[in-house]
A = this chain, B = another copy of it.
Amino acid sequence: MKRVDRKSESENSIVKIGNSLIGNGELTVVAGPCAVESEMQLYQTACHIKKLGVQILRGGAFKPRTSPYSFKGLGLEGLKILQSVGKETGLSVITEVMNVRDVERVVRYADALQIGSRNMHNFSLLTEVGKSKKPVVLKRGLCATIEEWLCAAEYILLEGNSNVILCERGIRTFETYTRNTMDISAIPAVKNLSHLPIIVDPSHAGGRRELVAPLAKAALAAGADGIMVEVHPNPEEALSDGAQSLDFMEFSRLMEQMSAANVMLKHIG
């Protein structure tokens, strides 16, 4: 590894998505539904999170699903809704890209791209998003070591795109209470090994609504640059990942806690 190495760059990298800076010492919050389901659902969510100070909206148009019979997202229609809601609300939008052939298209509709954990080792896709200059949120593979994750980021940087944000989303272990095991030590480990910013996804990591707040606070305390959280107007009716999505009231409460925690942690350093 060269480009991702802390040795190659002693200053922390700052990645810009729209007007937000990730990695500048402030806590960034990315929020939104797992999947874009309708204009109404996304618009309501966008308005709510914006009101709370969030600047980046997430929403999946192409959903990687273990079973081919699960809801796979609205595709191009989802991208259009995302872009339109982003413009109306002034939020930047981020969405996953799964196919090298979709990169060009997704780049036109979104402000940042996401590589999901199942594609962390999809080297063709890494190379393709490296050729675009859009910011990329690179999720850690289900079973990837930190070193392999950084190697995956290197594929992107090698093509000239250094706007990479790492995202810890839990690794697979034998524990069954949680969906995955959030590797909290990955945060300080990445900070030691690399100059890239790192955020966490407590929704996927824990897989349970009630774990989102404690995991988010822990990530912040461990030095994460941000969190990405699933929010849905009505989690019970979500087409995917309802069990781990927060409703609006829960998200409001989380934001209060995050903001208080953020202020405090700055005192400590």
Contact = CB atoms under 8 A, between A and B. Distances in A.
Contacts of A215: 184-185, 188, 222
Contact of A217 (B147, B177, B181, B221): B221
Contact of A68 (B154, B219, B220): B154
How many protomers of this protein does the assembly include?
4
Nearest to A183: B181
A257 B268 contact: yes
A181 B101 CA distance: 35
- For chain A, the bracket of interface size reads 35 or more
B261 A143 contact: no
Interface stretch (A46-54, A87-95, A168-176): A168-176
Interface stretch (A14-22, A120-128, A234-242, A244-252): A120-128
Contact of A145 (B122, B174, B260): B174
A142 B192 CA distance: 26
Contact of A146 (B2, B177, B192): B177
A100 B100 contact: yes
Interface in A144-196: 145-148, 151, 154-155, 158, 171-178, 181-185, 187-189, 192-193
A181 B173 contact: yes
